[in-house]
Amino acid sequence: MVDQMRTSRREFLKAAASTVTLPYVVAGSALGAGGMAPPSERVNMGFIGLGGQGSGHLLGGAWTYVPGGYVARDDVQVLAVCDVRRERREPARQRCNQIYAERLGRAGYDGVKAYNDFREVLARPDIDAVLLALPYHWAAPMAIMAMRAGKDVYCEKPIAITAEQTRVLIATARRYGRIYQAGMQQRSEYDGKFRLACELIRNGRIGQLKEVYAYREPGAFVPSAWTSDRSVPVPDGFDWDLWLGPLPWRPFGGEAGHTLSGLFVGDVNWSPHHYDIVQWTVNPDVHAPIEVKYRNGSIDYHYTNGVVVHSDSYPGEAVGPDGGACFVGTTGRIAVDRGNIVSYPAGVLREPLRPSDERVYRADSHSGNFLECIRTRKPTICNPETAAYTMNAILIGGISLALKRDLRWDPVKLQFAGDDEANRLLSYAPRPPWIL
């Protein structure tokens, strides 16, 4: 962050330190009452962004894979919830406090506080980690600010919307020694289907890997000018200016979901799941150039190990669209998604992996892996470098889609070779003070 951000944040932290409200302390909880671990064994967390995905993580949903969400875990203490929409943060605060009151047998428990401004959450010294489920443009800036404030971070996709943001994200995690987990849950969940496919293919069960079908087009942040005349009153309790954050100012037009129209080409939301598994399995040289070939609205990636990744689907294969891919080798193929894994020939899946076979990082719970790594300080299964490599593949493919031509990507320099027009799409000028 430039000095402008550092100064405003420094002033904010100084002011907030004198007004921090400590959590409601219950004597019984110190002994692990209500099935909870002692305070010294709990991770104190704040949750920023309480839409469908954020509230699912907090209270239980498809993205947590633990009944009742983080608030139900005995190794987590939720201290703060935050959203720029009052109608989201207040019910979340009330529900969390109700859960803890019932669990601890203490009516009137009020240890979970609600915030509009995420900087107040980051200013709390008693919070160890934050979970971010945000509009796309906020993911990297807020994660970077959180790590600078000494917090470990779980960040939902997309983890960044420019290559420049991925560079700063990695550098910040390294400099401040923070644990970071990207929300690429397929590496850990779904009964290990994706891990099994990865290990079978890496160990040559379909011969030499030649092609991959990713079933999803990539995407990129390609901002357009604001041309609409639509402007409606901002709903009561909605901090529109803070929602916009680093984006150029525009009047509220009634839209404020993950992003605003006209800012992206292709897909940066669902495609990270597909391409994360693809690159985990392809296992390319992360320092080698990648050739991106534009093909009539589709993209092909050519890696130096000889593998070609297509953004479209394998003809006639039903398995793959649900977050997966189809891998084609010289002697067979494997297709995998969240619901199924199939092989041709079928016997490939019936032959177990041998003790001598190559294995990959194993985690059976994505949220559990994050919490474990907070305690052990070992890298997560989807650490910043891994997540950034996947996200950059998606972004460069999206830029190729936007420009409708071939590109050559240097992952070390984080730029396109000899292409000024394409390189201008690798960053953007955020609105002050949210400047990288």
Residue boundaries of the structural domains of the chain: 3-133, 190-220+267-346+383-426
pLDDT (0 to 100) of residue 28: 40
Kindly report the pTM of this predicted structure. Answer: 0.92
User: What is the band of 257 on the pLDDT scale with cuts at 50, 70, 90?
Assistant: confident
350-380 tens-digit pLDDT? 999 999 999 999 999 999 999 999 999 999 9
219-254 tens-digit pLDDT? 999 988 777 778 999 999 999 999 999 999 999 998
Task: Report the alpha-carbon distance of residue 43 to residue 91 in Å, rounded.
Answer: 23
Determine if the peptide bond prior to 379 is cis (ω within 30°).
no
pLDDT (0 to 100) of residue 251: 93
pLDDT (0 to 100) of residue 177: 98
Tell me the fold of 3-133.
Rossmann fold (3.40.50)
DSSP 238: B
Q: Is 107 exposed, middle or buried (0-12, 13-18, 19+ CB in 10 A)?
A: exposed
CB 320 within 8 A of CB 326: yes
Which CATH number is correct for 190-220+267-346+383-426, 3.40.50.300, 3.30.360.10, 3.30.530.80, 1.10.1060.10?
A: 3.30.360.10
Q: What mean pLDDT comes out for the span 156-180?
A: 98
Average pLDDT for the chain: 92
Q: How far is CA 38 from CA 31, 44, 200, in A?
A: 6, 12, 42
Q: What mean pLDDT comes out for the span 197-203?
A: 98
21-71 tens-digit pLDDT? 333 333 344 445 566 777 778 999 999 999 999 999 999 987 788 889 999
